[in-house]
Amino acid sequence: MSMTITEKILAAHAGAETVEPGQLVNVKVDLALGNDITAPVAIREFERIGVETVWDRDRVVLVPDHFVPNKDIKSAEQALQLREFARKHNLTNYFEVGRMGIEHCLLPEQGLVGPGDLVIGADSHTCTYGGLGAFSTGVGSTDLAAAMALGETWLKVPESIKFVYHGELPRWVSGKDLILYTIGQIGVDGALYMAMEFTGPAVEGLSMDGRLTMANMAVEAGAKNGIVPPDEITRRYVEGRAKRPYTFYSSDPDARYTKVYEFDVSKLEPQVAFPHLPENTRPVSEAGDVAIHQVVIGSCTNGRMDDLRIAAEVLKGHKVNDNIRLIVIPGTQDIYLQAMKEGIVEQFINAGAAVSTPTCGPCLGGYMGILAKGERSLATTNRNFVGRMGSPESEVYLCNPAVAAASAVLGRIAAPWEVE
């Protein structure tokens, strides 16, 4: 029976020749991930199960990144629970402050996730790893606890939607724009519990950073997972990096899809998502005169090297507007170091930006950029729900790093060509 890439990965991990949409399957997991918000609940449930230790100390990964470095006493207590659990069970992959990064930037960089893997994480943006050709999805903390004990979980095989992006991307248009445009077309529930498979020449031309960005936001369309079929770009990324053997899967030519969308993106503009949903997208040229107070460049969506380089290119020779706070958050320590070596951090600081150690920070309204009543933030993050960055009477707009940098210079939502 013909299968999609998602179905093939699930079948392999279920020990079955084939699976089909709607089928419930018990699958072996390659990695189980928790962070400082979700793992404490999982740890409590794990201890209630009564097993002696985790199923595999190399494959249970804990990354404190949401409120780390700790912002208050409660966040310090949650981080302490992770630290003590990691020590008790001698976990190989616990990432302390100074070594940690934003989890979904960190795991691919460290070679902990590879093509063909099945990964679950108690964080909705675990779907990021689909950019590598893996099946990855977010789960609840109790599901994480069971996986930590057993190395297994159960899933319903999702239906698949295929997205084909034709044409060559114009300058300043990135994977972030492809996924924002897509969500704008299908809505925040347009792929509910489905696999979003991203294909076509425009996707094939994306770097790994751009592919991870697209997969990261699949959940914003309600998807179970997002996935990009692996190719030579994938191979170059994982060679010498992967900690385990990996497998390249691809969809059969006659695989079944619930829907197929085809987009010509050769004339696509950078996209901006207006409050309060990622589906409220429009081209940057149609944004209008929207004054902003804060710009955030970072997160598990756009905190990678490509993102920082693009932002720095736009900022070159400019200063941050006097009415704007620009906050830049590299995704990992390695990204931070590389940005330092390339002079990008110095460029950000000279322009008037605040550069942070890796953390999720303001993305979820954690800290490092909370909004007051009436304030507006433009961000390269993934969600702009009511109160996402602070006051329920604030607003968040989503965009790519080039638009974010240009807007920081002009003090309003602006296209990058306006500052060239």
pLDDT at position 410 over 90: yes
In this structure, are 164 and 30 located in the same domain?
yes
Q: Is there a single domain that holds both residue 209 and residue 158?
A: yes
What is the C-alpha R_g of the chain?
20
**For the residues 206-218, what does the mean pLDDT come to?**
98
**For residues 365 and 367, what is the distance between their CA atoms, to the nearest angstrom?**
6
Are 226 and 314 members of one domain? no
Q: Is residue 267 part of a domain?
A: no
Last residue of a domain, one of 262, 286, 317: 262
Full domain range(s) for residue 333: 273-418
Of the residues 243, 262, 281, which one is the last residue of a structural domain? 262
pLDDT tens digit sequence for 270-287: 999 999 999 999 999 999
Residue 1 has pLDDT above 90, yes or no: no
- Whole-number Å distance between alpha carbons of 42 and 26: 20
Residue 268 counted as domain residue: no
Predicted local distance difference test score (pLDDT) of residue 182: 98
Q: Are residues 67 and 174 in the same domain?
A: yes
Which tens digits make up the pLDDT trace of 111-129?
A: 999 999 999 999 999 999 9
How many domains is the chain built from? 2
Question: pLDDT digits over 323-359, tens only?
Answer: 999 999 999 999 999 999 999 999 999 999 999 999 9
Tell whether 238 and 280 lie within a shared domain.
no
Claim to verify: residue 307 and residue 248 sit in the same structural domain: no
Q: Is 90 exceeded by the pLDDT of residue 50?
A: no
pTM: 0.94
pLDDT digits (tens, 9 = 90+) for 83-107: 999 999 999 999 999 999 999 999 9
* Averaged pLDDT of the chain: 97
**pLDDT more than 90, % of the chain:** 99
Q: Is residue 89, in this structure, part of any structural domain at all?
A: yes
- Residue 11 C-alpha from the chain's centroid: 25
Same domain, 175 and 281: no
Locate the DSSP E strands across 159-200: 159-166, 194-199
Residues 165 and 112 in one domain: yes
CATH code of residue 303:
3.30.499.10
pLDDT for the residue 20: 96
Question: Is residue 41 one of the residues assigned to a domain?
Answer: yes
Give the whole-number percent of the chain exceeding pLDDT 70. Answer: 100
Decide if 185 is inside a domain: yes
Rounded-to-integer distance, Cα 179 and Cα 185, Å: 10
Q: Do 251 and 323 fall within a single domain?
A: no
Q: Kindly state whether residues 204 and 325 are assigned to the same domain.
A: no
258 phi and psi angles, rounded to 5 deg: -65, -40
Domain end residue (candidates: 230, 262, 294): 262
Tens-digit pLDDT profile for residues 10-30: 999 999 999 999 999 999 999
Residue 17: per-residue pLDDT: 95
Q: Which residues contact 213 (CB under 8 A, 6 or more apart)?
A: 131, 174, 175, 176, 179, 301, 302, 304
For residue 59, the model assigns a pLDDT of 97
Residue-wise pLDDT tens digits, 214-272: 999 999 999 999 999 999 999 999 999 999 999 999 999 999 999 999 999 999 999 99
Report pLDDT for 256: 96
Q: Are residues 232 and 309 in the same domain?
A: no
- The answer to whether residues 207 and 323 belong to one domain is no
Residue 131 maps to a domain = yes
Residues 181, 263 contacting (CB under 8 angstroms): yes
CA dist 233 and 206 (Å) reads 9
Q: Is 93 part of a structural domain of the chain? A: yes
> pLDDT band for position 420 (50/70/90)?
confident
